[in-house]
Amino acid sequence: MLYILAMTCTAASGMAAQLFSGYVPRIAASLLPGLEPSDAIRQVGSYGGSAFLFGWAVGAFALGWVSDKIGRRYAYFMSVLLATSCMLLISYADSMAMLIMARALMGVGVGSVLAQSVVMISEAFPTTSRSIVVGILINAFPMGFVGAGLITQSTDDWQAGYRLASTAMFLAIAVLFVVRESDMWRSSVSAAESTTALTVWHPSLRSDLRVAIVLFGSMLLGIWAVLGWMPTYIAKISLPEHSQANRSLANIMFGIGNVAGGLFSGLLSNRLGRRKAAAIGYIGCLTTTVLTLQTGLEPSFLFFAGTFSICVFIGLNQGILSGYLPELFPTIVRGAATGLSMNMGRILTAIGVFFLGVLVEHLGGYQNAITLFAGSYIVGLLTLLGARETRGQDLPH
């Protein structure tokens, strides 16, 4: 029950995150009617995307720290409630200020759901199956993209779409009924009471923390350029009558591709080890992005096959790294350290996504800007040289 609920909440968070991408042109036309459509889309996309990612970065660490202090259960409830209820708030946004505020608050909840789901499941499953179940779990997030794609396909009214998606708020109540407190967390709190409490900034954790932040951050920069702007790029190169349908198809393919990659991430990680498996993920993400966007493909079978391939490798790498991070940190700081590692890079990502809208003009198109950000995968590859292997080891207490 815990696993099913965690997957459902993670998928709902993915839907909340990606729904915005599908409705950017509609939101821009509604909130900024006085601007040229292209300028309005860039402003809404840049400000809305960056606010979400800044909220994500702050919230994942803050609520991760809360989960280390008061327990996983109530912190998870707060996260799910925030992530889902803000969709209803967005549906009533009548200004850019309200949209940005709602997107930032949603980011706080969504980022925390993702990090805390990984921590809870890591603490509940044994070493032999942990990387497999976490790899599948983390890619329930892009499963929500399928839901977002179906909603945007079913209605052009962005306010109605957000209200429909906000019915996921019932999941917060389900958390209180299904989730019980982590036994590993209870034991760590009892042990900490008789010793000096460890903090996430302890010198013994610094090396692993640096590695974890750079590994996940370098992946995020490339991923969010794709997920945030690929639908807009596809709409731009599509015929007007196919524009919205192709955007929706892209969101659905993002979800299915990520899930497909996640299904194999744990098996590959267990077979090759965390470092070699992650290297394959980085190389795959970089190669498929360049081949899909820099070969002049128009919307066609080959183009969408390439888009699907990008998302398979994204899902593969996310699954591998999400299973790896909790293995680096002891229980008493695992929530905060995992949240910080998974989301510190989102501050840089938020800045990057904000300027991506500006870079589009200077670089000659969305495809060139997205490809530029895919260069961050090279940083992740180099960082793996200093990472330590954790395959087959129990979670540190």
d(CA 369, CA 366): 5
pLDDT digits (tens, 9 = 90+) for 241-300: 778 788 778 777 777 888 888 888 889 999 999 999 999 999 999 999 999 999 888 888
d(CA 85, CA 101): 13
Which of 48-57, 73-82, 151-160, 319-328 is predicted with the least confidence, judged by mean pLDDT?
Answer: 48-57
What pLDDT, on the 0 to 100 scale, is given for residue 194? Answer: 47
pLDDT digits (tens, 9 = 90+) for 114-130: 889 999 998 888 888 88
Neighbours of 269 (CB within 10 A): 29
Which of 44-53, 129-138, 219-228 is predicted with the least confidence, judged by mean pLDDT?
Answer: 219-228
Mean pLDDT of the chain: 86
Domains and CATH numbers, the chain: 2-386 (1.20.1250.20)
Which pLDDT band, with edges at 50, 70 and 90, does 146 fall under?
Answer: confident
d(CA 209, CA 198): 14
Instruction: Please name which of 347, 351, 357, 348 lies closest in space to residue 55, comparing C-alpha atoms.
Output: 347
What pLDDT, on the 0 to 100 scale, is given for residue 238? Answer: 84
- 232 has a pLDDT exceeding 60: yes
- Look at 25 and 356; give whichever has higher pLDDT: 25
What pLDDT, on the 0 to 100 scale, is given for residue 22? Answer: 81
What is the mean predicted confidence (pLDDT) over 102-111?
Answer: 93
The pTM for the full model equals 0.77
CA-CA distances (angstroms) from residue 318 to 138, 274, 277? 7, 12, 11
Give the CB-side neighbour count of residue 184, counting CA atoms within 13 A. 23
DSSP string, 221-281: HHHHHHHHHHHHHHHHHS-GGGHHHHHHHHHHHHHHHHHHHHHHHHHHHHHH-HHHHHHHH
Instruction: Please name which of 319, 327, 322 lies closest in space to residue 135, comparing C-alpha atoms.
Output: 319
Q: What six digits make up the tokens of 160?
A: 């109605």
Q: What percent of the chain has pLDDT over 70?
A: 95
